[in-house]
Amino acid sequence: MTTETSPAQAAPTRVAAATATTETVPYAHTRLPDADRELLREVLYEVGTDPEQKFILGRRTAELERRLADRAGVRDVVACASGTGALVLALRAVGVVPGDEVIVPAFGAEPLAATVLGVGAVPVFADVDPVTMVMDPVDAESRVTERTRAVVPAHTFTTMADMPAIMAWARRRGIAVVEDAAVAQGATLGGRAAGTWGDIGLYSFFPVKPFGMPGEGAVVLSDNPELATLVRRLRNHGQDGVQRFVHHEVGLNSRFDEVLAGYQLARLDRAEDMIARRAAIAAHYNSRFAALRGSGLLAPTTGADGQCHYVYAVQTICRDSLAAHLAAHGIGSRVYYPVPLPRLSAFAAYAGEGADGRRPGTELASARHLALPLNLNLTDSQVERTADVVCAFFD
């Protein structure tokens, strides 16, 4: 394999040896490969000229749902308009109503809390493990009250939440589990697919996700037929898909696009290769950074079990200096959540005080994490250059 092979096309499973180069390495590069651009044009023409003339929730969407359910080993998959929409649908489906409390991680994306408020409930922020940066099961359970209706463990960056531990106390306490696996399609924990642990789960197809696409979209997964049926109605203004204009409950518009369904169907057999490429890049970074732990760089946990490959984030108390060093060498990086959710002005009213307001793991994760380039357009030489520049900073 040459160092200039396009990972998005070839999806190799290893990263080649170092090459001398001064090329820049952008953090994110979402340009579609030429083959995928052509595929998108072909699918657009196919859907646009189909005698059926159905552009949302058609047969392609139904087929994508069936095939994703088979691949995940789950009873039902329901496609919807976005990852945020999927969270709203899931919260509604498990019965969260105004006045309920929903436990969410304090370190993560804004929709984790915004969707809870959007259904009239109260977000309760649990601390995260400072190493894995995902929900701390013990801290989360300590925040359960008689008003707690659900918990939303979110898989973040490269690590799945501790689903066995969370499921154990949630089952014991009668609390619904909404598994936010937006970034974790293709990941498994103990042989079980991400997104299938909770009462209900979800994947996102946002462009930068592991099986992202050129547009918004997501799916909700569940083994519970009643929950899946409810999600199907809710995504379509409360209609059952059989009789129009008969609304069984107040729903919303979160329907899936047929062009994007056809596009995802055509690429589905390549999903494993796409995820494998990202895993290979992460594994190479891990091997290069293993020796830097004593110098102050903490790399993500190694091993395949419970690992997803959305964002490769290292941690160091020298985060800002490392980012500046990378930028000086033409390498992009990103700080995703510099301020914990409960310290954002949007959610400050729910931050808590005293012991309830202490989240040391979250503060460390927010202060120390730095994401390095991890996308399908990276060449091997760009991966190697990124690793070289990081290692040079700690020499």
Residues catalogued as catalytic: 209
How many whole angstroms separate alpha carbon 380 and alpha carbon 366? 29
Class of residue 79 by CB neighbours under 10 A (exposed 0-12, middle 13-18, buried 19+): buried
How many whole angstroms separate alpha carbon 217 and alpha carbon 256? 7
Both structure tokens of 331: 């390498």
Cβ pair 238, 116 in contact under 8 A = no
Angle of helix 258-267 relative to helix 34-49, nearest 10 degrees?
130
Q: Nearest 5 degrees, angle CA 198-CA 219-CA 203?
A: 65
Both structure tokens of 128: 């995260």
- Secondary structure letter of residue 37 according to DSSP: H
Nearest CA to 157 out of 131, 124, 137, 177 is that of 131
How many whole angstroms separate alpha carbon 100 and alpha carbon 276? 40
Tell which phi-psi region holds residue 245, choosing left (phi > 0), alpha (psi between -120 and 50) or beta. left
How many whole angstroms separate alpha carbon 280 and alpha carbon 162? 23
Cβ pair 377, 24 in contact under 8 A = no
How many whole angstroms separate alpha carbon 274 and alpha carbon 185? 11
- Residues 6 or more apart from 192 whose CB is under 8 A from it? 73, 163
Nearest CA to 106 out of 383, 371, 360 is that of 360
- Secondary structure letter of residue 104 according to DSSP: E
Nearest CA to 106 out of 125, 92, 79 is that of 125
Cβ pair 221, 77 in contact under 8 A = yes
Number of H-type helices and E-type strands within the chain: 13, 11
H helical segments located in 78-185: 83-93, 111-118, 137-142, 163-173
Nearest CA to 80 out of 285, 252, 293 is that of 252
